[in-house]
Structure 1
Amino acid sequence: MFIMLLGASVPRAVSAEPAAQELKRFKASETTGAMFVLRATGCHKAGDTCQLELELSDAAGGRRKAKLPSGMAYGIQAESSESWTSGEEEQNVTTSVQPVRLEAEKWGLLATQQGGFEHVHRHHRLYVVKDGGVAEAWNGDENFAGPESSHVGPYPLTPGSPVEGFYREYAFLSAEPDEWKLDAYRWDAAGRKVVKELRNRPARYAAIIGSFKTVQEAIAARASAQLAQACASGFLVLESTPHKRLTPGLFIVTSIHAEKKAAEAALKKVGACNPKVSGYVKAL
């Protein structure tokens, strides 16, 4: 005899949520031992999209987490100790993180996410500790239109001080003329916010191979310098007027560098490639 038990339920196997993949921990404080924890969540097989999150190591449950803007494909691989990549071609995303010492005892994290294939574009964010959790404090995303490039990084604000500022260096290649811009920032401890730094900015040096009255002349000169070997590859055509140390009203053919020696090396390289080209280095 068989007896059926109506209403009885048979437990179903429930697949466990995939464990978060911890990518790295970064110092958040010089005094408490708190750490920023970078994790990838929500993915455990090919085809899944991983969400990258930052949280504080000693945060109580429910405290604020910060989500990075771009997801990453399953199979995240470390490129270096502070950079990770996943996905192919159009789906490729690379995430890089740089610590920045915002105050003597407090750190923030600069995060860059780069994606795209023909035209690569970048998200830049600064994350800080706020109300016992992690919050976004600054956004320096690109315009996501046309051939543009940018990068961010920390730099020392004043000699002898551990406190750092950070910069965003941006270029847009339009050739009518090109655009280049360097913005510097620091953390306002009293206001608990990011502000522009106008005095102590990071140094930049221009390797200049020509100055012209019109943008058309400058573009033609750059093309003439190229030869078959693309000797002037990486050189921009920029207006001189926005730069106080340059003669205003001109258009220069230049490449820009963080170190004077690098600018001098760029001049030697283009001169060796095309002996008709010469130039000089100018601090911006």
Structure 2
Amino acid sequence: MFIVLLGAVVPGASSAAAPDGLELMRFKASEKTEAMFVLRASGCRKAGDTCRLELELSDGTDGTRKARLPDGMAHGIRKESRGAASSGTWTSGEEERNVTTSVQPVRLEAGEWGLLVTQESGFEHVHRRHRLYALKDGGVTEAWNGDENFAGPEMSHVGPYPLAPGSPVEGFYREYAFLSADRESGEPDQWKLDAYRWDAAGRKAVKELRHRPERHAAIIGSFKTAQEAIAYRDGAQLEQACASSFLVLETKPFKRLTPGLFIVTGIHSKKNAAEAALKNAGACNPRVSGYVKAL
């Protein structure tokens, strides 16, 4: 991964004092005005300081409401050169102090944007906090949050998706997995996909039940018990961890799957990605085969 030090834009890694209230990046807030979301780091002038991260509006006046992100970042923030030009990712700190902040724009209305922000922190067990920030009363407000439980091995991510073909308005999703399946527990993993849209009248995010993002399951085995499914996944690994990305899930929550079973599966946003996952698992271990099912 290629990392760029932002020099004068972000506090550097040296102990030299830096100006306070540094601007990290601007994001479009409205197409009706020239308003921009401004992400700033402040309060970290030297090594050992912790930066506060705040969002404000570019055309806001003194006293305009700002939104503070949950986690601060250590002095020496670095911008990572990855992702879309309209997005941004920054990281700082070592081991337990490591924090990565990622920002994704989402088009909440035809002429208005919000920002999805994810902060990852931790060393051995990484935890994630997700936020949606939106415009309100001439300022910036936190409109939604979807933190992990911080109770064990978890994974989650958020992102925008089109609510309908050709529509400029986007929804956003939170995809979550709790990795609990092992021979000792005998319990399946947990997986959930929640979708949301923006209620312009109420100025809030609401659950989207009809137009949800598509997901496809690459299934390499179906079993009557979770223990059987876990044993099969473990046996399929070989030394190359051929099925390491596959979950053990109960079929009951999925309307398109046969209830009462436990499947060994990898879940993907595109059908061709699920097909590729099957192909890769089979190339790794010739005994592994399966099929793809839309969820």
TM-score (norm 2): 0.90
What is the aligned partner in structure 1 of residue 95 from structure 2? 89
What is the aligned partner in structure 1 of residue 125 from structure 2? 119
User: Structure 2 stretches of 5 or more lacking a match?
Assistant: 1-16, 182-186
- CA distance in 1 between counterparts of 2:202 and 2:168 reads 20
What is the aligned partner in structure 2 of residue 48 from structure 1? 49
The alignment partner of 1:102 has SS state of strand
- CA distance in 2 between counterparts of 1:19 and 1:41 reads 5
- CA distance in 2 between counterparts of 1:129 and 1:191 reads 12
What is the aligned partner in structure 1 of residue 12 from structure 2? none
- CA distance in 2 between counterparts of 1:68 and 1:139 reads 11
What is the aligned partner in structure 2 of residue 204 from structure 1? 215
Offset from partner CA, 1:33-82 (integer Å, 9 cap, x none): 10000000001100000000000111111010000000000000001350
The structure 1 residue matched to 2:153, chosen from 147, 153, 165, is: 147
What is the aligned partner in structure 1 of residue 271 from structure 2? 260
How big is the alpha-carbon RMSD for the aligned residues of Structure 1 and Structure 2? 1.1
Higher mean displacement: 73-82 or 211-220: 73-82
The alignment partner of 1:272 has SS state of helix
- Report the Cα offset of residue 139 of structure 1: 0.5
- Report the Cα offset of residue 17 of structure 1: 9.3
Contact 1:208 1:255 (8 Å CA) reproduced? yes
Q: Is 1:66 equivalent to 2:91 in the alignment?
A: no
Letter in 2 for 1:225: A
Letter in 2 for 1:211: S
The alignment partner of 2:202 has SS state of coil
Identity %: 80
Q: Is 1:193 equivalent to 2:194 in the alignment?
A: no
Q: Is 1:135 equivalent to 2:141 in the alignment?
A: yes
Q: Is 1:233 equivalent to 2:244 in the alignment?
A: yes
Letter in 1 for 2:172: F
The alignment partner of 2:71 has SS state of coil
- CA distance in 2 between counterparts of 1:63 and 1:132 reads 7
What is the aligned partner in structure 2 of residue 277 from structure 1? 288
- CA distance in 2 between counterparts of 1:268 and 1:156 reads 29
Letter in 2 for 1:279: G
Give the aligned length.
269
The alignment partner of 2:109 has SS state of coil
The structure 2 residue matched to 1:169, chosen from 166, 172, 175, is: 175
Q: Which runs of 4+ in 1 moved over 6 A?
A: none
What is the aligned partner in structure 1 of residue 233 from structure 2? 222
User: Structure 1 stretches of 5 or more lacking a match?
Assistant: 1-15
- CA distance in 2 between counterparts of 1:257 and 1:159 reads 20
